[in-house]
């Protein structure tokens, strides 16, 4: 029996088989858990339903993947429909994974101070507020020993040039985790964030993370970057009963990059 045997939960944010959310969900299902999934809504004129198809290509291979529905996190009715689907299939849920972030390419390419007003509102709504909105909608179906996990990044703690407005959104998300941990603690729900090092995902391409994997490999204490599998295992741990007693934390899975106060061994290559 795996550590998720009999456990049920919801996964938001899988885009394809390289998504961090999929690495975590796959680990959960391999350990006996059952999951309900969201996907980005497809445009009405997209007959191929590309967003759904990319996620279904992952979930169709797992009996433990119970359903797949479109969710636009800027719409309360979509969030409520997703939670209702979870209630219909599972009754209560034991875990909730939030791996959702967005900013327009135009705003990401600008200097942070030049972010458009509407772009800032949209980025903050999707990347930070949506965690609170989803958790609030799910509050009544969370079991009395449940866990919520969101995905963050070091750019919310320190300035990472190129991450720009998304860094501000992640800082807000990190703060939300702490306040939500306080709100939901009395009912037995824990709330944490996982800060992963750079991986090849659609999200990483969008924020211009090219070259970051090599940088992490040269600077991190472990002398390498991390893998999807490592993030999957640690994310699953934080959503499992094995991490009881941990809440309000930002857990870094980055081979130790975040602890460095200098470029470390990379200095040896600088003449």
Q: 163, 179, 216, 257: which is the annotated catalytic residue?
A: 163
Residue 250: strand pairing partners:
193
Residue 257 bears catalytic tag: no
CA distance 183 to 188: 10
Which residues are CB-contacts of 249 (< 8 A; sequence separation ≥ 6)?
Answer: 177, 192, 193
Please, are residues 11 and 59 in contact by the beta-carbon 8 Å criterion? no
How does DSSP classify residue 43?
P
Other CB atoms within 10 Å distance of the CB of residue 162: 15
Q: 153, 179, 216, 257: which is the annotated catalytic residue?
A: 153
Other CB atoms within 10 Å distance of the CB of residue 239: 30
SS3 218: helix
Complete DSSP assignment for 107-136? HHHS-GGG--HHHHHHHHIIIIIHHHHHHH
CA 50 to the chain's CA centroid: 21
Token readout for 159 is 């300035």
In 3D, which of 71, 65, 74 has the Cα closest to residue 84?
71
Residue 163 bears catalytic tag: yes
In 3D, which of 64, 114, 59 has the Cα closest to residue 89?
64
Active site residues: 153, 163
């Amino acid at each position: 029996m795996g550590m998720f045997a009999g456990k049920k939960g919801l996964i938001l944010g899988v885009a394809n088989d390289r998504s961090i959310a999929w690495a975590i969900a796959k680990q959960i299902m391999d350990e006996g858990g059952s999951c309900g999934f969201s996907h980005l809504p497809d445009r009405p004129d997209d007959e191929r339903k590309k967003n759904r198809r990319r996620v279904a290509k992952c979930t169709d291979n797992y009996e433990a993947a119970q359903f797949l529905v479109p969710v636009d996190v800027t719409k309360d009715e979509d969030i409520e429909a997703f939670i209702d689907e979870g209630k219909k299939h599972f009754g209560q849920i034991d875990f909730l994974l939030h791996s959702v972030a967005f900013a327009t390419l135009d705003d990401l390419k600008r200097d942070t101070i030049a972010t458009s007003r509407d772009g800032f509102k949209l980025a903050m709504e999707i990347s930070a507020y949506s965690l609170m909105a989803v958790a609030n909608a799910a509050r009544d179906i969370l079991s009395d020993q449940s866990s919520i996990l969101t995905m963050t990044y070091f750019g919310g703690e320190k300035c990472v040039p190129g991450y720009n407005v998304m860094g501000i959104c992640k800082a807000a998300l990190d703060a939300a985790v702490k306040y939500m941990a306080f709100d939901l603690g009395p009912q037995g729900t824990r709330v944490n964030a996982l800060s992963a090092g750079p991986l090849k995902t659609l999200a990483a391409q969008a924020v211009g993370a090219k070259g970051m994997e090599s940088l992490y490999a040269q600077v991190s204490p472990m002398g390498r970057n991390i893998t999807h599998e490592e993030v999957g295992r640690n994310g699953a741990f934080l959503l499992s009963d094995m991490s009881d007693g941990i809440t309000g934390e930002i857990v870094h899975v980055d081979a130790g990059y975040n602890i460095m106060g200098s470029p470390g061994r990379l200095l040896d290559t600088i003449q």
